[in-house]
Structure 1
């Protein structure tokens, strides 16, 4: 597949949130699509965060729904809008009928598209997330690379984003984060270049102020390779001022690797590894994640899949976990 086609698919995903999103309205150059997922996820041996599971199952199920719109302004300029929310299940230890009526807003933005160039404003991913997603594409527990600092995270409020695709090979993104609080603005830049034989190289940088405490900076790099049913990727990040732990000045590093192969019988096998470290100025360095993951996925069709994941947790006093899941995309 040419990179231009891949770029088009990525742009479509930004509008629809899902390659399966159904168009429910199209008239006079304006269209509306609805998509989402319903996903049962049950952890049967230890919780996903490493805590002890006292009962039989920890329910991590979720439901997502998104609405995307597009309207033609001229032959070369379109307007877009997108919204996505998620609801998780009530999981009370004693009340099995516990419900959750809250929907969490994930994305909400609007923008303009001119050819392979897109400008959007609202709640959306920072520019460096495209690098972290190189190793965060299918793994059940991955994604730590995008959580260290606000300017490098996903689903960030007040983000003005630019995305461009060039030469059928180069994806460029830039973000400006205009915070409502004093001294909390940020920015991010990233690029991925994919060579004709399937090797992708990505680099990114993000920074934001932290309202008087240590400012946050993050460098992130990634490599991925695609060949027929095989995909392998690795990302590395380092920086300072992690927002995850308020310990004064601190440095952080993170590693994430993933490999998966899709067989012709619709079965996919995945292996992954992740490690994250925080190094505070006045305390000893400590790990915030360190685990291996083994996953098997079976695709019934393009909408329905089931998977099993075993997480081998290397953190002290943390339990391993076994997750069974069934996911329906629409």
Structure 2
């Protein structure tokens, strides 16, 4: 039997990142756990985030630290409810703004009827589009550009549905999502489909919706493919997206690809590439490649090192970036 994306999502309720969440309570069909991760390292800041930095700047940084609370409840009749709250941690700066919401939703799942989720969540579009978004330091960027409002990554205020079919030789998964007026966008909808067999997965995603005050839609088509499991031997994945959903009002073609190989001792080497092309002006918005390595000192304590090479573009003055540090999974 093949494990579908839906089955992976449901199993992921009890997990956090690459490690088990800490289960604090399990009784009479109810569970409660805490998960997340924190990281600290050295690197040069992104010029897009801080235009005043230079290539020589070196800073202590933390990569997406978070903490989450997870609960599940057996509702009977094959139905299971789950709830998740996840917040970004401000590890390095003082002040009052220590937490900000990453995820917050309630879901109901059934083996036959599928899964419905309401709230801020990873979207069905990301289920098929996030296959190359794996390394700790440098990975996919274009899915996150206004991704909460567009629903291409962590979708804000979304209602989603997923249904998986598990056959003897392959699995099929379907997803749908809807958002009301959100940021600069009106009603939005997305549809996804994927097929998995052996170690392969092929996926397709479509996202569309109006732009507030405009006649045009913010629309995208996405195709993805992967082989293997990241961190377990050979892993290869690629994403190809085309549409007019961000970077202003022009069409773009976006590509992300990764090749990774993990040794038996968990030493994981990877090379990833990302490119964003402005189809209207024929200019390159982003083009970069990263060489990265990760190593599990223990299942919950991971070291990483990475060097990202700026391959040149027509709109910014980005330069090479680097990062080295450790991440601890809760």
TM-score normalised by the shorter chain: which range applies? 0.7 to 0.9
Task: Identify which of 105, 108, 124 aligns with 1:109.
Answer: 105
Q: Quick one: distance in 2 between partners of 1:77 and 1:66?
A: 23
Matched, 1:212 2:219: no
CA distance in 1, matches of 2:223, 2:25: 40
Whether the 8 Å contact between 1:207 and 1:215 is mirrored in structure 2 is yes
Larger mean Cα displacement after TM superposition, 206-215 or 103-112: 206-215
Segments of 5+ residues of structure 2 without an aligned counterpart are: none
> CA 1:47–1:29 in structure 2 vs 1: closer, same or farther (change >3 Å)?
same
| Mean Cα deviation higher: 105-114 or 82-91 | 82-91
TM-superposed CA distance for 1:54, in Å, is 4.8
2-structure distance, mates of 1:5, 1:211 = 36
Distance 1:306 1:85, change over 3 A: same
Please show how residues 1-20 of structure 1 align to structure 2 within 5 Å.
2-4=1-3, 7-14=6-13, 16-18=15-17, 19-20=19-20
CA distance in 2, matches of 1:87, 1:70: 24
Q: Which residue of 2 aligns with 1:153?
A: 152
CA 1:5–1:70 in structure 2 vs 1: closer, same or farther (change >3 Å)?
A: same
Distance, in Å, in 1 between the alignment partners of 2:38 and 2:264 is 25
1:133 is matched with 130
Cα offset, 1:279, TM superposition: 4.0
Q: Could you tell me how far apart the structure 2 residues matched to 1:157 and 1:171 are?
A: 22
How many Å apart are 1:239 and its aligned residue? 0.3
Q: Gaps (5+ residues) in structure 1?
A: 92-97
Structure 1 residue 241, shift from structure 2 partner: 3.6
Cross-structure match for 2:240: 236
Find the counterpart in structure 1 of residue 140 from structure 2: 143
Structure-2 change in CA distance of 1:323 and 1:276 (3 Å): same
Q: Provide closer, same or farther for how the CA distance between residues 152 and 253 of structure 1 changes in structure 2, counting only shifts above 3 A.
A: farther
CA displacement at 1:173 relative to structure 2: 1.4
Tell me the TM-score normalised to structure 2 length: 0.86
The alignment partner of 2:139 has SS state of coil
Which deviates more, 253-262 or 166-175? 166-175
The 5 A counterparts of 1:180-329 are 184-196=186-198, 198-213=199-214, 214-226=216-228, 229-242=233-246, 245-246=247-248, 249-280=249-280, 284-315=281-312, 317-329=317-329
CA RMSD of aligned residues (A): 2.5
* 1:67-94 Cα deviation digits (max 9, x unpaired): 1111111141111111100123446xxx
SS at 1:10 equivalent: helix
Number of residues of Structure 1 aligned to a counterpart in Structure 2? 314
Shift of residue 293 of structure 1? Answer: 0.5
